[in-house]
Amino acid sequence: MLNRAFYFDFQQRCWRESHDADYINAEIEDIPHVLAVRDKSDRPGQYFVLCPKHRCIEAIVSICPDSVVTESGCNLQGRVCLLDHSIRDDEDSPYFPVRWRVFQRDPESPLNIAGDISVGPYLQNRHNPFCWQNFAISVSLPRRKHFISPYTTSYHRSQENWIDATEVEMPDIVVSAAMDALRESTRAVWGIKPSDLSQMTGRRRILAYIDRPFDLNISYLRNFFSEYEFDSVFPYDAKDNYRVICRLLAMNPPKSLRRAYAYNPYAIIWYLVLREWGLKDINHIRPFLRLDRNICGIGLDQLCYHEDTKITGVLPRSHEHHRWRALGYFCRWLLEKKGEARVAQWLYQTTVETPLTDWQWDTIRAFHEYDHCLSDGIKEYLLRDGLTQYVHDMISWEVTVHTKKLVNVHLDYAPPVLAFECAVNGYEFRLARTTETLRYIGHALANCVATYRSDVINHHSIIVSASFEGHFAACIELQQENHIVQALGSHNRYLDGDLLLACRCWAKTKGLIIDTWHLDLPPELTDWEDAVVSDLPPQELPDPQDISGNRRTSATDRRELNRYEIIEQDIMNTMPHRIQPPPWMTFADERAYLRYVLPAGEEIYEAAFAQDAEAQRTLGLIYLKGKIIAPCPQKAIYWFSRAGAQGDEDSKWAARKLIAASPAAMTQFDIALFLALQNLRQRFGVTVEPEVMGEAAG
C-alpha cells in the first residue's frame, strides 16, 4: 500500500516528505497550525499572526517549525504555515497548499492525490483563521479515466469546480511520487514500465500520462494537431510517435531534435516555427528546444499546425491571431536586415528574460500592418534602437498620419454596448464613434490605437476613451463585447490614482469582465464606494465629409472664413486636445514637428510652406492661440511676416503689433486681448492701433 504525505519546510523553502504517521493519517482540521502572513506593503519581510489570546494581529519576533513568538510574548504552538500575502487583502485570497497526500491500495487500484488547501488569510474570522478546502484527483489507469473532485469548504460549506482553480499547482516532489506510482500501475496492467524523461511538471504531466502512458509527450501536442484525427493518427499504445510527427510535418530534422523531443514535447513546435521564420542554422535553434512555456508571451499550447497551408498558426478560439502574424512578419524582416544570430538573440531574450510590453506589441503590430507606408528613416531607427518608446511614438505618428487618408467610417454599436457610456466622478467614458476618433485618441495619448481600425470596423475590438476636463486620459480596449483586455494611459503608461479607480468603478458598474492586470488595485488604494455615476448627453456625430474640411462656421460671422481657417475650426471642434511630444523627442525641422503635433492640419502647413498667404496667416494664428498645439508667439510672428510680405494686410498688422509687444513679455491675457482686437478688426473693419500690447492691456 502506498501512503505518503508532504509538507512545506519554511526554513529550506521547499516541499519535503513527512514520516510522522499521525501527520500522514490525521484530518487536517485536527492538526494544530499557525498561520503567519507576510505584509508586502508596509513592512516587507515582516510576518504577522492572529493572536487568539488578544484577538488582534501581532507581529512575529521569532519563528520555529512548530511555534511562533509574537511581539506581546505569546507563544503559539502548531505547525507553522507561511503565506506570502498582504494582511490587508480580504478578497481574491490565494490558495495555499498546506499538505499533499498520495494514496494507493495496490498498483491496480486507483491512485488518489489530495491537497489540503488553506484559503487565506481568513484573518477576519477571529475563531478560526483557517478555511480548509480539499483538492483531489483520482486516477484509474486500467480504465483510462480520471476524476477531479469538487471541493467543499469547512467554513462556507460551498462547492465549486477545481478545474478552474488554476492557482493550485502540485509541487514536483508530489508529481514525482504520483508518476512513480502510475508507472508501477502500467507495469502491473500491461507488463511494461515506460521510461519517463519528460521535463514537464505539474498536474498536466499526470493527466498527460493517463492520456498516453507510452509517450506522454504526444498528449501535449493535441492542440497542435487539432486538425487531424488525433486518436487514429497517434494510437493509445504507440511507442514511437516521433516518426509520425516528422511525416505529418514533412520535415527531415537533425538527430538532436529527437533527443530534445524526449525531454520537451514543444521542441517540435520550436523547430518548425523557427524554420518557418527563416532560421536554418541548428546552432541558433538548439537553445530554444528546451523551452516549454511560450514564444514571446504567446503560449505554445495555443499554437496549431494548419494542414492546408502547412504553416503554424494559433487556435481558432485564441485571441492571439494578430500578435502571432505580426511577430512572424517582424522576425522575417529582422532576419533579412540583421541575420540569424541577432534574430535568435532577440527572440530568446524576449521569451526568457524580458517579455514584450504592451506598447512593444503595439509597435510590432503597427509595423506589420503599415510597413508599406512607414518611412525609411523610422525603419532605420527601429533597426538601430529596437522597440524603444520613442520608436513606438514615431511609428504611431506616421500610422496616424497615414490613416487620415482613409475613409472615415461611422461605428455602430448594439444598445447594450452603447450603455457603457457614462461619467464617473467627472471622468467621461465614451465609445469611439468613428475611425477618425481613433486617430485623435492615438495622437493625444501617443499610442498605436489607430492601427486597431480594421479590428474596430469588424467588431473584433471596441475602443473606449476615458477623458477628464476635456482631455483624453486613457484608452481601453474591449473584446467579446464586455472583456477588458487593455487599459492604458498616455504613452501606454499604467493607470494610477483617481484615473485607475474611475476605470475600475466604471467596469464594475457596467458589469464588465477584467481580463488584464492593468486594472489591478495596489495596496495603497481603495475602490470608490460612493462614486457618482451619471449618464452622458448624446454624442453629436459629425458627418464624415465635415471632418475633411467642408463644414462652415456660424452665419453670425460677417466675414467668410478662408478654406484654411475652416479646417482650423474643424480641428478645434473635433480634436480639442493639444498633442505634446515627449521631452526627449527631437525633430529635423518645423515640418516634422507639425506632422507630429498637428496631423489633421497637413493641408494648412503644406500650403504655408508652398507660399500660400492665407495658409501662412492661419498657421500664425494656430501658433498664437495655442489651443491645438503649444503656443509660440515667435513662430506666429514668423508666419504673419511671411504672409504680410505677400500683401496680406491683416497679417502685416498682426506681425507689427506682435513685434511691438514682444519686449513687454506677453502674458496669456495679452494674447487673448490681442486676438479679440484682431477679431474686431476682421469682422467690422475697426481700426485699433495701440502702440504696444501693454498699453492696450492698461
- Exposure string of 521-556, with b = 16+ CB inside 10 Å and e = fewer, is eeeeeeebeebebeeeeeeeebeeeebbbebeeeee
pLDDT computed for residue 567 by the predictor:
81
Mean pLDDT of 122-134: 56
- What pTM does this model have? 0.66
In this structure, the strands spanning 132-140 and 145-148 are: antiparallel
Enter the DSSP assignment of 287.
G
- Backbone phi, then psi, for 368, in 5-degree steps? -65, -45
Cβ atoms of residues 79 and 126 within 8 Å: no
Exposed (0-12), middle (13-18) or buried (19+): which is 86, by Cβ within 10 Å? middle
Lowest mean pLDDT among 86-95, 111-120, 484-493, 626-635: 86-95
Mean pLDDT across 300-307: 92
Lowest mean pLDDT, pick from 111-115, 278-282, 442-446, 617-621: 442-446
Tell me what pLDDT residue 167 has. Answer: 54
Class of domain 415-534: alpha beta
Residue 524 has pLDDT above 90, yes or no: no
**Ramachandran quadrant class, 59 (left: phi over 0; alpha: psi -120 to 50; beta: rest):** beta
Q: Among 250-259, 468-477, 680-689, which is the least confidently predicted range?
A: 680-689
Prior bond of 32 cis (ω within 30°): no
Task: Quote the pLDDT of residue 372.
Answer: 86
Q: How far apart are CA 39 and CA 395, in angstroms?
A: 43
Instruction: Say which range, 174-183, 614-623, 666-675, has the weakest mean pLDDT.
Output: 666-675
How does residue 690 score in pLDDT terms, banded at 50, 70 and 90?
A: very low
Q: What is the pLDDT of residue 133?
A: 76
Q: Locate CATH 3.40.630 in the chain.
A: 415-534
Instruction: Tell me the average pLDDT of the chain.
Output: 81
| Residue type (1 letter), 591 | R
Q: What is the CA radius of gyration of the chain?
A: 33
**SS3 call for 116:** strand
> pLDDT tens for residues 549-586?
333 333 333 345 677 887 887 777 666 566 777 666 77
pLDDT over threshold 90, residue 222: yes
> CA 456, CA 478: separation in Å to the nearest integer?
10
User: DSSP state, 410?
Assistant: B
Look at residue 466 in the predicted model and tell me its pLDDT: 95
Q: How confident is the model at residue 587 (pLDDT cuts 50, 70, 90)?
A: confident
For residues 177 and 166, the answer to whether their CB atoms sit within 8 Å is no
End-to-end CA distance of the chain: 101
In eight-state DSSP terms, residue 547 is I
309 vs 305: CA distance, rounded Å: 9
Who wins on pLDDT, 678 or 330?
330
Residues contacting residue 215 through CB under 8 Å, at least 6 positions apart: 234, 238, 239, 240, 241
pLDDT in tens, 44-63: 567 888 777 777 778 888 88
Segment among 141-155, 494-508, 519-533 with least mean pLDDT: 141-155
